[in-house]
């Protein structure tokens, strides 16, 4: 199914006890399995976007980011502590509003989200080999084995896997027993931020009135003079 198809117009989401948002119902219920279907909220994607920024000098393809997600904005609150989101076709990296991001997992193995995960996994391994002095080059297969084992353990412990956890675990991955030199990491991120990437909009945007009401955390509001500052991520969705 193409992302421009007419059937995916809205979804209704709820905030779980784990502070993640989960899809309760969706307009295209024929193609989507709602069993533990998560959706990445604006605050989570802000943190993800900051991590992606550090990958620009390692060859991040921003088009793959946009192709990997369906984007939604808040429409209204409805009875039962639910929120209705409506589909928009804005770029996640250039959006003028804070958006929810639903990964395109209609094809788990060959779809846009799978391609995106493989892309950022490859870049993360390149970063690790640049920033850590391994005896031998660290391989993507090694990282995937570690993350797969963690997912399997979570499944055995009856923990639901959320897309934000899956993605952040890749973007922040460091092998056990190793550490990234913070000075080198900051230097790498600074170098990436100094480059002029026309396809990436680095400015943070103000939250719309509806989003501000439903996502009331102070760290989602910026004054005009503070737009270039980023906010430390505290995890989960706003209370």
Q: What is the DSSP string of 31-69?
A: T---TT-EEB-HHHHHHHHHHHHTTGGGT--HHHHHHTE
> Considering the chain, what is the average pLDDT of its residues?
80
What pLDDT does residue 231 have? 47
The domain locations on the chain are: 10-226
> CA angle, 36 as apex, 33 and 40 as ends, to 5°?
100
**From the CB of residue 66, how many other CB atoms can be counted at a distance below 10 Å?**
21
Give per-residue pLDDT as tens, 120-164: 999 999 999 999 999 999 999 999 999 999 988 888 888 888 999
Handedness of CA 164, 97, 199, 202 (dihedral sign): negative
């Amino acid at each position: 199914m193409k992302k421009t198809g007419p059937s995916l117009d809205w979804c209704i989401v709820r905030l779980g006890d784990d502070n993640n948002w989960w899809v309760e119902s969706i307009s295209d219920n024929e193609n989507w399995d709602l069993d533990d279907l998560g959706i990445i909220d604006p605050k989570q994607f802000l943190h993800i976007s900051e991590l992606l920024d550090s990958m620009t000098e390692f060859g991040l393809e921003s088009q793959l980011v946009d192709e990997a997600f369906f984007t939604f904005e808040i429409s209204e609150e409805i009875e039962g502590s639910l929120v209705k989101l409506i589909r928009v076709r804005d770029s996640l990296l250039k959006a003028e509003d804070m958006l929810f991001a639903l990964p395109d997992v209609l094809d788990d193995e060959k779809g846009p989200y799978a391609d995106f995960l493989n892309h950022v996994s490859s870049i993360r391994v390149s970063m690790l080999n640049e920033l850590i002095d391994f005896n031998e080059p660290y391989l993507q297969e090694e990282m995937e084995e570690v993350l797969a084992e963690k997912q399997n353990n979570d499944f055995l412990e009856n923990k639901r896997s959320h897309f934000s956890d899956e993605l952040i675990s890749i973007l922040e991955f460091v092998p056990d027993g190793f550490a990234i030199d913070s000075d080198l990491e900051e230097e790498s991120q600074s170098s990436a931020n100094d480059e002029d990437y026309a396809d990436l909009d680095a400015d943070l945007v103000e939250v719309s009135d509806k989003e501000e009401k439903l996502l009331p955390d102070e760290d989602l509001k910026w004054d005009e003079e503070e737009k270039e500052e980023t906010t430390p991520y505290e995890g989960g969705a706003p209370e």
